[in-house]
A and B are shown apart, each in its own frame.
Chain A
Amino acid sequence: SQTIHQWPATLVQPVGSPLSLECTVEGTSNPNLYWYRQAAGRGLQLLFYSVGIGQISSEVPQNLSASRPQDRQFILSSKKLLLSDSGFYLCAWLPPRQGDYEKLFFGSGTQLSVL
């Protein structure tokens, strides 16, 4: 079966510290992978998406970056966190084309608090 793992579930980091959030998918190959952020009381903002190894599309200019070193691994990073980076980070994957039916599968999320 197909599963997605995202960790950690919660993270408290000081301003200026680095960040690395990892997401891995099992049971599929060549998925599309996504990172979203949801600030408190706000909608989901698309940060990055990837349609293949080494292919990253960035949606919002910021101090975050993403990498896809392996087919089923998607990493979100920052060299120096800002207070505004606080939020709920969600990794998601989309199976290869399945005709009219598409379903985005989400990880359980990481609640990041930058203090």
Chain B
Amino acid sequence: RKEVEQDPGPFNVPEGATVAFNCTYSNSASQSFFWYRQDCRKEPKLLMSVYSSGNEDGRFTAQLNRASQYISLLIRDSKLSDSATYLCVVNRDDKIIFGKGTRLHILP
């Protein structure tokens, strides 16, 4: 079983829709959690950290459930510019593991 697993995707959604990404991690000792965004052939960029209390940044909301070892990302009112691959990331003792990513296509 992979340490970080995400929805396989791709997701094709119309502009303005709400999109939800799911991620699970296998090691309960994992300490910190993030969502990164990667555009084609570019390096990943941090979208947001994920806290147990949940956190929001504009149209983006991240949630963490440590008991279920589950992380989510919600994008509201999606824009064409949101098209990218979304990567779930877990840090366990300085070992930073990326999920395979979920590709998102926003359709005009």
Contacts and interface: CB of A to CB of B under 8 A. Distances in A.
B107 to A, nearest CB: 21
A34 B96 contact: yes
B32 to A, nearest CB: 6
B98 A44 contact: yes
Nearest to A51: B94
A42 B103 CA distance: 11
Interface stretch (B14-22, B39-47, B57-65, B69-77): B39-47
B44 A106 contact: yes
B94 A32 contact: yes
Interface in B51-108: 51, 87, 89, 91, 94-101
Q: Is the interface of B mostly helix, strand, loop or mixed?
A: strand
B49 interface: yes
A106 B43 contact: yes
B43 A109 contact: yes
Closest 10 CB pairs of A and B: A43-B100, A106-B43, A44-B98, A103-B46, A43-B101, A32-B94, A51-B94, A109-B43, A43-B98, A102-B32
Interface of A: 32, 34, 36, 42-44, 46, 49, 51, 57, 59, 88, 90, 92, 94, 100-104, 106-109, 111
30 contacts: A32-B94, A36-B98, A42-B100, A43-B87, A43-B98, A43-B101, A44-B98, A46-B95, A46-B97, A49-B95, A57-B95, A90-B43, A90-B44, A92-B96, A94-B94, A94-B96, A100-B32, A100-B49, A100-B51, A102-B49, A102-B91, A103-B46, A104-B36, A104-B46, A104-B89, A106-B44, A106-B45, A107-B43, A108-B43, A109-B42
Given A57-B95, A101-B49, 14 more contacts: A32-B94, A43-B98, A43-B99, A44-B101, A88-B41, A90-B43, A94-B94, A94-B96, A100-B51, A102-B49, A104-B89, A106-B43, A107-B43, A109-B43
